Amino acid sequence: MAENQATQDILNRLRPTRLQAIEIGILAAIAIVTALLRILPLQYGAYFTAFDPLFQYRATQYVVENGFASWWSWHDTMSWYPMGRNVANSAYPGVPFAAAFLYMVQKTLGFGISLYNVCLYFPVFMAVVTIITIYYLGRELRGRPTGIFAALFLAITPAFIARTSLGFFDTENIGIFAIVATSLFFLRSSDKERSIEQRVIYGVLSGLTLGLIYASWGAAKYMTGMLMLYMGFLVITEKYEIRHLITYTITIGLGFLIVFFTPRLGPMSVLSLDSVLAFMVILGLIGYEFIKDKIDISVFSVAALGFFVLVVLGIFILPAVGIDIPIGFKFLKVLNPFTSTDSFLYDSVAENHTVPWASLFNNYGIILMLGVFGTYLSIKELDEKNLYAILFFLTSLYFAGVMSRLTQILTAPASLIGGYGLVRAVSPFLLEQTPASSRTARRRKQAYGVSKPLVLVFAGFLLVSMIPNVYSAIESADSPNQLASSGISVKVNGEYPKDWPEALEWMKTNMADDAVVCSWWDYGYWIEAMAGKTTMADGATQTTRQIANIGQILMNPPNVSIGMLERYGADYVVVFTSYSEQYGQSLYAGDEVKWQWMVQIGGLDLDAVSYTHLTLPTN
């Protein structure tokens, strides 16, 4: 009898209330919309998107066939010919390891999904997981409605769709998820309402997810910087307690333990200036614990704020006066976009350029405005969780603006604080009306209350303002990727060109297995993964001289280029030019728009090279 009662009690606790059931239903609907939007490109063919995902697929294949341990000794002879590539020291293992593990699990369970399809749909799977995770983060910060709207906004944000659509099998799949998860676990670990056991568990999870970012994504330093900044502002706003130090220490300690054992990063990365600063924060806070009872906290907070301002000014002023800051160039370029560069190779990558604010607005629309509103309210009602949300949004907004490839960092914070802004914007319309107890209260209610027609007008305004976001989301999702359209975004003779898939299939079938192909670095991953041929350069080639030589081969007269090809032992040259018989001219989507970079990277005189776009008469 007692056992039956205990079982019934468990079932009663598991049974959701009506409100919880509605909430689960809404979240499930958002997850379904998330997946459906991201599989729209399937109508154009089951292809991987962009270039890097093809390397991730090759790497996952290698791990599945040779085991996880083989990663540490993999020397890839198909890339960077003739030197080859030390993969462990030049690539992150996070995405290939995660996809290989997922493939093995589903295979063990008897699903029989091919590795190609596992990798193809992996971004969609991670998008759904991230949507669910940000719901819990929003709920942790400001309640269930904030979580629901944050999940909805993230699901329809074009910037997030672009990096999690079918076939975009790349580092951001795990990176964005892990940033959201680290934030969730970190805040739960430092929550004073939780038991010490729960705090330790969440602290460990926070450290593991921080390590996952580092093992998967080059933008991982953002998360460490964000946590350091948060700890500093806890002191500045006088909200710091020792529980924050415990959480931060566990997170940083475990995270950098994973960094230490990640081959691409290793011990030297732990000893870099930014990493050392992360550990110095721990030492600084321990010292603060000893002196905080002996000093005026308000004076110390002002001093800490002044020190922060000096550091920010130093980042901008020191490079301007010719003093080098001992951190990586790319990291410094993100912190200070005015840092000059003389690398044509770096400048040739579109993702390294700054982002026009119009582009940011096109990606986020009213979500950005709601985010600003949510930030304003969070400042007015400042507590430690609101402080985290404010810093999360403002720092990601800054970094998204200074470099195109970091735009996706803003997706989660904007959705999160934008969701909170929306909840607060509509909350006056949702509050239960109660009779006023006095004439003064009735007057106040009249001053701040609204009528039912105004409620409908405001709701209609919000719905209309979301139309551009939804339209951009669908437009972003419902388009062919680079392989499906051969990099040409317009239809030619009624359909998207299939030149690249056909060319890669031809290379796979007709070229010798040991053939060496020379092409501009953009196409290296495609040729390696889909044609199975050796290339001289790809998107990860670290030898600038190699790419410069390819630029010279493609831009020099044939008598010079052939000699260079023979010295390399190259068998084929692949050149991609886009020409439409329908329009009788170039579509400006191939190498004809890259030739200036080839000249400059190759060290040739731009004025001495003549290039004429192909234009033929139409019939």
Residue 433: strand, helix, or coil: coil
Q: Which residue has the higher pLDDT, 270 or 462?
A: 270
- Mean pLDDT over residues 12-26, rounded? 78
Query: Taking residues 491-505, what's their average pLDDT?
Result: 85
* Mean pLDDT within 187-215: 94
CA angle in degrees (0–180, nearest 5) for 601-534-551: 15
**Predicted local distance difference test score (pLDDT) of residue 107:** 94
Of 202, 249, 243, 208, the closest CA to residue 228 belongs to 249
pLDDT band with cut points at 50, 70 and 90 for residue 455? low
pLDDT at 439 over 90: no
Q: Which is more confidently placed, 314 or 37?
A: 37
Tell whether the model's pLDDT for residue 445 goes beyond 50. no
Q: Give the per-residue pLDDT at 584.
A: 56
Give the predicted TM-score (pTM) of the model: 0.88
Residue type, 379: I
Q: What is the pLDDT of residues 376-431, one digit of tens each?
A: 999 999 999 999 999 999 999 988 887 777 888 999 999 999 999 988 887 766 55
What mean pLDDT is predicted for residues 333-337? 69
Residue 572 sits at φ, ψ, to 5 deg, of -140, 155
Query: What's the CA angle centered on 182, arms 176 and 184, to 5 degrees?
Result: 105
CB-based burial label for 427 (10 Å; 0-12, 13-18, 19+)? exposed
SS3 letters across 61-130:
HHHHHHCHHHHHHCEECCCCCCCCEECCCCCCCHHHHHHHHHHHHHHHCCCCCCHHHHHHHHHHHHHHHH
Distance of CA 483 to the CA centre of its chain: 21
* 285: Cβ contacts below 8 Å, ≥ 6 apart: 231, 235, 240, 244, 245, 248
Q: How would you classify the pairing of strands 572-574 and 579-580?
A: unpaired
Confidence bin at 366 (pLDDT 50/70/90): confident
d(CA 335, CA 314): 11
C-alpha–C-alpha distance, residues 247 and 140, integer Å = 16
pLDDT for the residue 91 = 94
Q: How many angstroms separate the CA atoms of 189 and 251, rounded?
A: 10
Least confident of 166-170, 172-176, 435-439: 435-439
User: What gap in Å lies between CA 504 and CA 544, rounded to an integer?
Assistant: 26
- Between CA 168 and CA 532, with CA 79 as vertex, the angle to 5 degrees is 70
How far is the C-alpha of 492 from the C-alpha of 587, rounded, in Å?
Answer: 10
Closest to 90 (Cα-Cα) out of 264, 351, 295, 311:
264
- Nearest residue to 52 (alpha-carbon basis) of 531, 522, 409: 522
Distance CA 206, CA 251 (A): 5
High-pLDDT (> 90) share of the chain, % = 50
Single-letter code of the amino acid located at 527 = I
Q: In the structure, what pLDDT confidence band is assigned to residue 330 with cuts at 50, 70 and 90? A: low
pLDDT tens digit sequence for 41-64: 898 889 998 899 999 999 999 999
Q: Say if residue 617 is preceded by a cis peptide, omega within 30 of 0.
A: no
Average pLDDT over residues 173-183: 95
pLDDT (0 to 100) of residue 456 = 63
Top-confidence residue, 259 or 309: 259
Q: List the one residue out of 33, 52, 290, 18 whose CA is nearest residue 151.
A: 33
pLDDT at 446: 45
Strands 572-574 and 516-519: parallel
CA–CA dist 543, 453 (Å, integer): 66
d(CA 381, CA 387) in angstroms, rounded, equals: 9
Residue type, 215: A
Instruction: State the pLDDT confidence band at 614, using cuts at 50, 70 and 90.
Output: very low
pLDDT tens by residue, 95-148: 999 999 999 999 999 998 999 999 999 999 999 999 999 999 999 998 898 999
In Å, what is the CA distance from 50 to each residue of 264, 345, 523, 530?
23, 19, 10, 13
Please, what is the average pLDDT of the chain?
84
